Homo-oligomer: A and B are copies of this chain.
Amino acid sequence: MLTVYEVADLAGVSIATVSRVIHGSRLVHPDTRDRVLAIIEEVGFVPDASAQGLSRRRKDVVGLVALDRGGDEIDIETTSPLFHDELVHSVEAVLRGTDLSLLLTLGRAGEGFQRRIWSLSGKVDGLLLTEEIMPADRLLALARRIPVVVIAGQRREAGLDVVAVDNRSGVRALASHLIKEHDYRRICFVAGPEDSPDAGERLAEFRRAAAGRMLDPVLTGDFSEASGSAAARVLLRQHPRPDVVACANDQMAIGVLRQFQQARVNVPVTGFDDIYAARLVRPGLTTVRQPLRSLGRAAARRLLARIDDRALPALTQVLPTTLVLRASCGCPDTEGPDPRGTEPVI
């Protein structure tokens, strides 16, 4: 592997000069600069990031950690959180303008995953974590070691940078729509996994907003499409059927929808998140949109800011959710211009 030393030798200069050239320092004669540059180009020299990181005390890498829920590995598409893919893209888009890189880590929740993240913190300058990954105290401990921004649904972690989404108002808007517009009385809720704060909050708020129209007990899935299908199969055996099935996320809703369609029964369904696929299914999925792009962007930007200045005061940003009415809730199929793409750029 080539080093600055060989480059320096070949160019007949010292390594200091090579380093200066690499960083475009102006304290170097144009002639030497060109000579060194030519050599670098010729031999294809690339500075070693480990050495740079060690010397500059900065790795130019940030980590994005997300949960990979449910399902066995054979069945990635139906279970992996498509949700997070949009986050990945928006975070990457922010990083693209800088010279930082994105280290992506996924995993199933648990002690092992938490350890893995802890040791991963040695590889990066900062970490973007989704809330459910570890309890608040571990999160705080981690944040003392390294810049951390938490991507969350609502909950406010004391002393931490948090970018959250206003789950509750979205849930309320949805419940209100189902009740006031459609007057559904027997509402079935398919909840997410119990260890997800998001899931818990959505359930709690929905129960509150549904004003006694929510059927008990609620069904529980793991946010995967498969678990939605499973819930639907349970419902298919029930009589009378609920007037509508509200799911804690889109993937489960899609699972429910498809299972019902396969059984040729027609029950309204709603989701939560507004992932890409939500507008693809027929009927289009009525759901609550999380501003995922803005979420990722805001989180990434905040992380960069904190890496630049670790003394920044903790900040919580709450982004609004919006009710997106498509046809799956029983509304007429408008198929108008899709609200997607109109999300304001924050």
Query: Is the pair B106, A89 in contact by a Cβ cutoff of 8 Å?
Result: yes
Contact of A50 with B53 in the complex, beta carbons under 8 Å = yes
Q: Are A77 and B345 in contact (CB under 8 A)?
A: no
User: Chain B residues with Cβ under 8 A from A123's Cβ?
Assistant: 49, 60-61, 101
Smallest CB–CB gap between A29 and chain B, Å? 24
When chains A and B are docked, how far (Å) is the Cα of A78 from the Cα of B280?
A: 11
Answer yes or no: A227 CB below 8 A from chain B CBs.
no
| A184: interface (CB < 8 Å) | no
Interface residues of A in 112-135 (CB under 8 A from B): 118-123
A44-B141, A96-B106, A123-B49 are contacts. A254–B280 as well, Cβ < 8 Å? yes
Option from B46, B48, B105, B119 in Cβ contact (under 8 Å) with A102 = B105
Contact of A76 (CB < 8 Å), options: B74, B86, B118, B145: B86
Q: Output the least CB separation between A135 and chain B (Å).
A: 15
Q: Which residue of B lies closest to A276 (CB)?
A: B77
A219 at the interface (CB under 8 A from B): no
Q: In the complex the two chains form, is A48's CB within 8 Å of B122's CB? A: yes
A235 to B89, CA, bound (A): 32
A273–chain B nearest beta-carbon distance, Å: 12
Q: Across the two chains, which residue of chain B brings its CB closest to A144?
A: B44
A238 within 8 A of B: no
Most-contacted residue by chain B among A90, A93, A144, A345 (CB, 10 A)? A93
> In residues 69-113 of chain A, which contact B (Cβ within 8 Å)?
73-78, 80, 82, 85-86, 88-90, 92-93, 96, 101-107
Q: Looking across the interface, which residue of chain B has its beta carbon closest to that of A56?
A: B50
Smallest CB separation, A209 vs chain B (Å): 28
Give the CA-CA distance A251 to B154 in the complex, in Å. 33
Across the interface, which residues of B come within 8 angstroms of A75, CB to CB?
A: 341
Query: Which residue of the partner chain, among B49, B121, B345, contacts A46 with CB atoms under 8 Å?
Result: B121
Determine if A47 is an interface residue (Cβ-Cβ < 8 Å).
yes
User: Given the complex, which residues of B lie within 8 Å of A254, measured CB to CB?
Assistant: 280
Q: Does A181 contact B (CB under 8 A)?
A: no
Query: What are the residues of chain B within 8 A of A27 when measuring CB–CB?
Result: none
User: Are B49 and A51 in contact, with the CB atoms below 8 A?
Assistant: no
Within 8 A of B (CB), among A122-162: 122-123, 141, 144-145
In the complex, which of the residues B85, B122, B282 contacts A49, with contact meaning CB atoms closer than 8 Å?
A: B122
Whether the pair B103, A101 counts as a contact (CB closer than 8 A) is yes
Q: How far is the CA of A66 from the CA of B256 in the complex (A)?
A: 33
Quick one: which of A33-69 are within 8 Å of B by CB? Answer: 44, 46-54, 57, 59-61, 63
A-B contact list, 21 entries, CB within 8 Å: A44-B144, A46-B122, A48-B54, A49-B50, A49-B53, A53-B53, A76-B89, A76-B293, A77-B276, A78-B276, A82-B276, A88-B88, A88-B104, A92-B104, A92-B105, A96-B106, A96-B107, A101-B123, A102-B103, A254-B280, A276-B277
